[in-house]
Amino acid sequence: MRQPSLTSTASFQALAQHADIATTWQMRDLFAADPQRFERFSDEAAGLFLDYSKNRLDGRTLELLMQLARERGVEARRDAMFLGARINNTEGRAVLHTALRAPRGASHVVDGVDINADIHAVLDRIKTFTDAVRSGEWLGHTGKPITDIVNIGIGGSDLGPKMVVLALRHYAHPRLRMHFVSNVDGHDMDAALGQVDPETTLFIVASKTFTTTETMMNAQTARRWFLAHAPEEALAKHFVAASTNTEAIKAFGIDPANMFPFWDWVGGRYSVWSAIGLPVALAVGFGYFKDFLAGAHDMDEHFRSAPLEQNLPALLGLIGFWNRQFLECSSVSIAPYHQDLNRFPAYLQQLDMESNGKRVTRDGQPVDTPTCPAIWGECGTNGQHAYFQLLHQGTDVTPMDFIAALRPAHEMDHHHTALLANCFAQSEAFMKGKTADEVRIDLTAQGLPADEVERLTPHKTFPGNRPSNTILMERLTPTTLGALIALYEHKTFVQGVLWDVNSFDQWGVELGKVLAKKIEAELAGEPAPNLHDSSTNGLIARAKAAV
């Protein structure tokens, strides 16, 4: 049945009315009026603590947001996802990345197939293979243990494994160096091949479809490079694949015994839990990979069973919706105060923007509100010395997600104390700001003359009232990382349901791919009789002239 438009729902209209007043609130006043605000607006689950008190909302706001979630059918759609309904309606597919992290034996029958058994059969193969590589039992064609792994993939077949391998570097195998090649830009492949030895390198070709042009070109280049140093029969010791496309893998020349399959109900950006996670299992070992899956499963169970009022993904999704819709925030900045989460903002960009960067509803009607904000960010404290100026004093309000671990994985405690101090200070500063009167008092106390005080006051005033969430975990471990990623996956899901978009397709990447094919042929020598607009024709002509 067609969903009514978002703005026509009773709960949206109630929220809009409420927002007329709520958007004028100052968070300073909200904190002053309620000493319990932190306790009231924070919660924890699956090893993650969420403080959402530094948002421009109160209990009534949340009540109305919960009503909206229920009116939009968040709980019913969530249950349908977990049960394997084909909620990806433009591709006719189920969405079952949650099944990938369910324990062995969890009953999961989809279209008559016990997918839990299939999933665990592949996990068993991943264990056998990764144990062999890590122990040194798996040898390259000249009898040496593997020292370097090159993952060739892009988008979800790169961002997830790369981010997780970096985040869990403290758990990594000392012999195995991990490399990730994603870009069709030959500089990427060139840099990786320059660091590895064909006798001791294992290539993973990671592609759900096994048709993505960047990955195919990179895989062919790696294959040619390898065969320039080794005989054809050596390929089986050095090339493996993670994919859903057995035929294409065979055609590429990879032994099907070296193929780690997954399924069409795993979206690319949700695939790190599948065979696409092979680099993770190689780097940290199968035991920690299982912990990573278990952490995500804990978050799944929480998302599935906790009432929306205490449900972390639902809260994050609804608050993000509130900021997007009623505070008109067109971007969200992610600030991990943990250097090992360096690639987490990039990972979330694909997760969120490829999922919810949509302008029509599931049944093809134009949406009647803005949808996904732009997601960007950088680790603290580096971001503070780059773009935080704009966040504090620029004209746009950008909500922030601060993410930190209470304990470090190193022994330089004073560094960690400084890091956490910065993290908490920034969210305090965003919330409180600094009024003109406070600035005047400070400057006067410093002995500045009155005219100088007045001249500087506007520059030193901070508007504050800028929203943020803070997510804390005890330590960054495979388990807490799994839970953190699942938290954001489900947050994205909740927002997709509110906007009634299909969060699981990505048609928006197709047009550029098609045009690139044509232009590639023209650049490679096919006649290009001014087929394009004058700008594109001009650029092609300049590139051809340079060759």
Ligand X SMILES: O=P(O)(O)OC[C@H]1O[C@](O)(CO)[C@@H](O)[C@@H]1O
Q: Which residues are the active-site residues? A: 354, 385, 513
CB of 148 to ligand X, least distance (A): 22
Q: Toward ligand X, which CB reaches closer, 345 or 433?
A: 345
Q: Toward ligand X, which CB reaches closer, 214 or 378?
A: 214
User: Angle at Cα 357 formed by Cα 359 and Cα 21, nearest 5°?
Assistant: 80
User: Under the criterion CB under 6 A, does residue 302 sit at the interface with ligand X?
Assistant: no
**1, 228, 257, 509: which one contacts ligand X (CB under 6 A)?**
509
CB of 265 to ligand X, least distance (A): 14
User: Under the criterion CB under 6 A, does residue 268 sit at the interface with ligand X?
Assistant: yes
**47, 84, 155, 467: which one contacts ligand X (CB under 6 A)?**
155
Residue 317 · residue 498 · CB < 8 Å: yes
User: Under the criterion CB under 6 A, does residue 151 sit at the interface with ligand X?
Assistant: no
Query: Between helices 59-72 and 10-22, what is the axis angle to 10°?
Result: 160
What x-and-dash track marks residues 305-344 binding ligand X by CB under 6 A? ----------------------------------------
CB of 142 to ligand X, least distance (A): 31
* Total of residues contacting ligand X (CB under 6 A): 14
User: Under the criterion CB under 6 A, does residue 269 sit at the interface with ligand X?
Assistant: yes
Closest CA to 64 of 111, 25, 15: 15
Q: Which stretch binds ligand X (CB under 6 A): 101-109, 112-120, 201-209, 370-378?
A: 201-209
Quote the DSSP letter at residue 360: B
Give Cβ neighbours of residue 177 (< 8 Å, ≥ 6 apart): 147, 148, 149, 195, 196
Q: Toward ligand X, which CB reaches closer, 154 or 335?
A: 154
User: Under the criterion CB under 6 A, does residue 506 sit at the interface with ligand X?
Assistant: yes
**Strand pairing class (42-45; 48-51):** antiparallel
Q: Which stretch binds ligand X (CB under 6 A): 57-65, 208-216, 324-332, 355-363?
A: 208-216
- For the stretch 75-79, contacts whose Cβ atoms lie closer than 8 Å and that sit 24 or more positions apart, written own/partner, are 75/308, 77/493, 77/497, 78/303, 78/304, 78/490, 78/493, 78/494, 78/497, 79/304
Residue 97 · residue 119 · CB < 8 Å: no
Q: Toward ligand X, which CB reaches closer, 66 or 192?
A: 192
User: Under the criterion CB under 6 A, does residue 469 sit at the interface with ligand X?
Assistant: no
* DSSP per-residue letters across 251-287: HHT--GGGEEE--TTS-GGG-TTTGGGHHHHHHH-HH
User: Under the criterion CB under 6 A, does residue 547 sit at the interface with ligand X?
Assistant: no
CB of 356 to ligand X, least distance (A): 13
Closest CA to 76 of 536, 494, 362, 512: 494
CB of 268 to ligand X, least distance (A): 2
Q: Toward ligand X, which CB reaches closer, 374 or 540?
A: 374
User: Under the criterion CB under 6 A, does residue 285 sit at the interface with ligand X?
Assistant: no
Q: Toward ligand X, which CB reaches closer, 11 or 506?
A: 506
**Strand pairing class (239-243; 201-206):** parallel
User: Under the criterion CB under 6 A, does residue 156 sit at the interface with ligand X?
Assistant: yes
Question: Residue 67: how many CB atoms within 10 A of its CB?
Answer: 17
Q: Rounded to whole angstroms, how far apart are CA atoms 212 and 101?
A: 26
Q: Is the dihedral of CA 188, 194, 198, 201 positive or negative?
A: negative
Q: Which stretch binds ligand X (CB under 6 A): 154-162, 280-288, 321-329, 430-438?
A: 154-162
Q: Toward ligand X, which CB reaches closer, 67 or 209?
A: 209
Question: 335 has which bridge partners?
Answer: 402
User: Under the criterion CB under 6 A, does residue 279 sit at the interface with ligand X?
Assistant: no
To the nearest 5 percent, what fractions of the chain are helix, strand and coil? 55, 10, 35
Contact residues toward ligand X (CB under 6 A) are 154-157, 207-209, 212, 215, 268-269, 354, 506, 509
